[in-house]
Structure 1
Amino acid sequence: MLKVKITENQLEKEQAFDIRRKVFVEEQKVPVHLEMDEYDDSAIHFVGYQLEQPIAAGRMREVEAGLGKVERVCVLPEYRGQHIGVMMMNEMEEYARTNGIFRLKLNAQTHAISFYENIGYEVTSEEFMDAGIPHKSMEKVVN
């Protein structure tokens, strides 16, 4: 059973950062200076726990009134294929709905586009490169 929570202290935030480093920096070879950026201080960070073990992470920022940007969503490799990403996104969308954010956007790695389409996101851009990885922008109305 996955428990998703918003980080409330530095330890929880470091757990989110550790998951991101494992997935994006170590596994996908994203340079750490691109992965850990200036938005980490102001974003809302989410961590998914299974039996108290942090296994998934993501963050959200309100980029303009009513519009949120979902970023850095990831699941540790050994926990993939168990719908944990869907549970993370559901919790992040619920946070958005209860905090006056009615539309979410994200930049999806192209291999993950079908994942996001299956939970209601629509492609809104042509393919572009970010940190050497092909992406497309996507959006969803959540309210």
Structure 2
Amino acid sequence: MYNVKIVETAKEHEDAFAVRKQVFVEEQGVPLHLECDAEDASATHFIMYEDNAPVGAARLRNIVDDAAKIERVCILQDQRGKKLGALIMREMEKYAISINKKKLKLHAQSYAIPFYEKLGYAVTSPEFMDAGIPHRAMEKTI
């Protein structure tokens, strides 16, 4: 059984960062200093567990009064294809609504654009590079 929750404890924080490190640093080659940045201190972090094992993570940052930015969405490689990315996104959207956000923004890796489009996000920028990976800005009104 999969469970998504807001990170509240040091252990949950460590679990979220372990998933992010495995996906972004080890798998995709993003330098650690770019993956773990100053924004982590003020972001709301989410962790996904299968039973007690961490399998996914993400963070949400306030950017203006009515908008937030979804970042660092990741699912461990052996867990992909199970609609877990959509599950963590829905939970983050529910939370954003609960804190009165009207718009969500994100920078999607270009290969993942169809995933986000299925969730109602629209591309709002030309392609750009971030950490050596092609991205496009996207947003959704909630």
Gaps of 5+ in 1: none
**Post-superposition CA distance 1:65-117 (Å, at most 9, x none):** 01000000000000000000000000000000011111000000000000000
TM-score normalized by structure 2? 0.99
1: CA distance between counterparts of 2:59 and 2:114? 20
1: CA distance between counterparts of 2:101 and 2:39? 18
Asked if residue 129 in structure 1 is aligned to residue 129 in structure 2, the reply is yes
**Post-superposition CA distance 1:27-69 (Å, at most 9, x none):** 0000000000001111000000111111000000011001000
Give the root-mean-square deviation of aligned CA atoms: 0.5
Partner of 2:54: 54
Runs of 4+ in 1 over 4 A off after TM superposition: none
Aligned pairs, number: 142
Q: Which moves more between the two structures, 114-123 or 10-19? A: 10-19
Amino acid across the alignment from 1:84: L
Amino acid across the alignment from 1:26: E
Q: Percent identity?
A: 52
Partner of 2:43: 43
Partner of 2:120: 120
Partner of 1:84: 84
Name the SS for the 1:129 alignment partner: strand
Partner of 1:14: 14
Amino acid across the alignment from 2:64: E
Amino acid across the alignment from 1:27: E
Superposition deviation, residue 10 in structure 1: 1.4
Amino acid across the alignment from 1:33: H
2: CA distance between counterparts of 1:4 and 1:102? 22
2: CA distance between counterparts of 1:22 and 1:46? 16
Q: Which moves more between the two structures, 5-14 or 80-89? A: 5-14
Name the SS for the 1:24 alignment partner: helix
2: CA distance between counterparts of 1:9 and 1:96? 20
Amino acid across the alignment from 1:18: A
Asked if residue 32 in structure 1 is aligned to residue 32 in structure 2, the reply is yes
